[in-house]
Structure 1
Amino acid sequence: MARLDVRRGRATGKLFLEVQADRFSYLKTRLVVPLSLEEDVPDRAGALHPSMVVRGEAMVLVTHLAVAVPVGDLGEVVATLADDDYRIVTALDTLIGTA
């Protein structure tokens, strides 16, 4: 596990961003946020839904759909969004009301 890794869901093949702190890697779940194509998220809400580029494709962080999933539900790492750390944390802070 690595915070801000993009991983495929085993069952769906959809992309998820791991946002859970690395120090909790001993847990059997991961807090993830789904990534969707821009055209699939028409009602974006500013900082809550930042755009990112994943493997050359424009994606949106669908922060309001953050969820904990079992580690076994996550497949391969396909990218990292470590360079987008500030915008990701801002999106999470916006969701929980601390931004």
Structure 2
Amino acid sequence: MAAKAITQDTFDDIINSSDKPVLVDFWASWCGPCRALSPIIEEIANEMPSELAVYKCNVEDEQDLAMRFQVMSIPTLILFKGGKAVHTMVGSAPKARILAELREYL
């Protein structure tokens, strides 16, 4: 299951209604580290569909969401559980490190 786009219009419904944790990747097309991280996020989405819902938020299109969660640098990954942000990771990182940080909350 590939990462899906999330928007201001769909955000609250997705975050609050999900029966599993939701990982949101805040990114932009011009961001080199974001492009490097993108295949890792897709792998995580494809490998963990029963444990985690994965979404991507383009900060250029969804500036209000980026401001709402104080995204100052991209890429930023925010994990939501029970409708609340429980963990934030800023910058690109190896898959193993991302998974290690996520597993604490799954």
Answer whether TM exceeds 0.5 for this pair.
Answer: no
Structure with more of its chain in strand, by fraction? 1
Q: Which has the higher contact order (CA 8 A, sep 6+)?
A: 2
Which structure shows the higher helix fraction? 2
TM-score if structure 2 supplies the norm length? 0.29
TM-score by length of 1: 0.30
